[in-house]
Structure 1
Amino acid sequence: MSWQIRIEHSTGHRYASPVLSSYNEVRIIPQTAAAQLTLEATVRTEPAAQTYRYWDYWGTQVTAFDLHTPHTELVVTGRSIVQTASAPERPRDVPTWSALAEDRIADEFVEYLRPSASTPEHAELVDAARELAATHDPREFVPAVGAWVRERLTYRPGTTGVHTSAVEAWQKGEGVCQDFAHLALVLMRAAGMPARYVSGYQHPSASAEVGETVAGQSHAWVEGWLGEWWGFDPTNDVPAGEQHVVVARSRDYNDVPPVRGVFSGGASTSLGVTVSVTRLA
């Protein structure tokens, strides 16, 4: 079943003294791809700024802008309407572990096989990945990794930050969806399966009423290469489907933060992030 979802994402900063200039990149526009169609998308800033868009190396649409008038607050709001599709069936004709180990796979997917800043290699996690791979073929491996991660991480907001690595979250035993995704990626890559980080939004209710607006959330999940990319949400133990809206795919969070910028002025305080979602159809 396909859904149509409206998303409003607002984030901002307040500054201790007027900022004279700032340069910013925003990644909050959902992608259009085979299983997702972005029908409308706008990004507005307060103070108002002229924006321009481009696609970065990872295929994420970036809204860039700069401000050169003094301001003490900056608020960025993205609004979009997206049509999503139900979760695809897990591929049947999946490469074996031996096939995934071939040089052509390593060459094509090298960026999704190597450790990254948030998904570093760790000896105990490598051993865990090999044990899982020994008892699960690639088709069953991704959900098995999700189960392994959920047994070892407790979902607890506020205990980790955007710079927390998968190893640090695993050692703490708690984190948020970003940490669940990063830890799953460590295991998948250690086993030799190309795996990528997916960020976007999730509607919180599978039985959402049409027209009802609820508090949503930014979200993160993973995709594994099973002969084709297949998405799985380790935090919620479900394949990525109609409740998931893709904004970016990359190696880890550091490649595609929602907002990144530099400014000249006093210290900043976050005004927080709010996300509201409405199922339209």
Structure 2
Amino acid sequence: MSWQIRVEHSTGYRYSSSVLSSYNEARIVPQTGSGQLTLEATVRTEPAVTTYRYWDYWGTQVTAFDIHTPHTELVVTGRSLVRTAPEQGLPADAASWSALRADETADQYVEFLRPARYTPDHPELVEAGRELAAAHDPADFVLAVGDWVRDRLTYRPGTTGVHSSAVDAWQQCEGVCQDFAHLALVLMRAAGMPGRYVSGYLHPLVDAEPGETVEGQSHAWVEGWFGDWWGFDPTNAVRAGERHVVVARGRDYDDVPPMRGVYSGGTSSSLGVTVNVTRLG
């Protein structure tokens, strides 16, 4: 069963001295596709400027803008209304390991099989992924990967940063949803299963009351390909479903940051990120 969710995401920065110019990209507009439909979406900035949009290589809508008037704060707010996709069943024609490791699969999904900036190879992780694959068929393998990751990582905010890799989190034995997703992807790719990183929002309440606004979460999970793309949330041990709002997909976090930019001026400090979500139906 799909939900209709309103999302308000606000993020900002304060500068120690006036910024004379800045160039920015925001990835905060939910996607339409794979069962999800974005009904409304706006992105506003303070200071107010003209924005334009484009779709990047990975299919994410990017809101781009530049500011050339002096400012000491920047706030970006995205508001959207989304009909989410219900929990997806396993692919009817799930691929075997031999099919996943065939040359044609490797050619088609090569970008989701190779190491990336935050999902590098590590001998012990490669071996763990291959051992899990030897003991499970592809559908059960994704679930086993989630169990393996949760057995080794403790969810603890503040122990890693956006530039931490899967190996960093694994060695520290703790991290956040981004780290859970990155570590799962290392194992999946080591076994020969294409895997992609998904960034978006999570409604925290399974039994959310329509009309009630609560604090939501910027969130990350994974999708594995074994005949079709199938989403799984390793942090919460659930299939991706109606509580998950997809914003961006890529190889890892480096492909999907909510905000990215450069500026000329003083040092910056974050004003924080707030996400409010309301189930409407």
TM-score by length of 1: 0.99
User: CA separation in 2, counterparts of 1:188 and 1:2?
Assistant: 28
User: What's the counterpart of residue 106 of structure 2?
Assistant: 106
Separation in 2, partners of 1:143, 1:15: 44
Report the Cα distance in structure 1 between the residues aligned to 2:139 and 2:270, rounded to whole angstroms.
Answer: 42
Residue 210 of structure 1 aligns with an amino acid whose one-letter code is: P
Residue type matched to 1:32 in 2?
T
> What is the CA deviation profile of residues 112-137 of structure 1, one whole-angstrom value per residue up to 9, with x for unaligned ones?
00000100000000110111011101
TM-superposed deviation, 1:94: 1.1
Report what 2:259 is aligned to. Answer: 259
1:130-209 paired onto structure 2 within 5 Å: 130-209=130-209
Residue by residue over 1:252-280, the C-alpha shift from the partner in whole angstroms, topping out at 9 and shown as x without a partner, is: 00011000000000000100000000000
Give percent identity, aligned residues only: 76
- 2:96–2:226 CA contact under 8 A, matched in 1: no
Q: Which runs of 4+ in 1 moved over 6 A?
A: none
CA distance in 1, matches of 2:19, 2:70: 5
8 Å contact from structure 2 (residues 166, 186) kept in 1: yes
CA RMSD of aligned residues (A): 0.5
Q: What is the CA–CA distance in structure 1 between the aligned matches of 2:214 and 2:185, rounded to whole Å?
A: 30
Partner of 1:39: 39
Point out where structure 2 has 5 or more consecutive residues left out of the alignment: none
Structure 2 distance, partners of 1:69, 1:129, is 51
Shift of 1:34: 2.7
Shift of 1:92: 3.4
Give, in whole Å, the separation in 1 of the partners of 2:234 and 2:263.
36
Residue type of the alignment partner of 1:144: A
Aligned-partner Cα distance in 2 for 1:146–1:19: 44
Partner residue, 2:94: 94
Q: Which residue of 2 aligns with 1:120?
A: 120
Deviation at 1:104, TM superposition (A): 0.3
Amino acid at match of 2:86: S
Q: Separation in 1 of the partners of 2:195 and 2:211?
A: 35
Q: CA deviation at 1:108?
A: 0.3
Code of the residue aligned with 1:91 in structure 2: it is P
Q: How does 1:63-78 map to 2 (within 5 A)?
A: 63-78=63-78
The Cα of 1:85 is off from its aligned counterpart by 2.2
Aligned pair count?
281
The code of the aligned residue for 2:94 comes to V
Residue 117 of structure 2 aligns to a residue whose secondary structure is coil
**Residue 206 of structure 1: SS of its match in structure 2?**
coil
Q: Does the CA-based 8 Å contact 2:34-2:85 persist in structure 1?
A: no
What is aligned with 2:271?
271
Separation in 2 of the partners of 1:187 and 1:5?
32
How many Å separate the matches in 1 of 2:85 and 2:113?
28
The residue aligned with 2:238 is: 238
SS at match of 1:130: helix
CA distance in 1, matches of 2:250, 2:194: 12
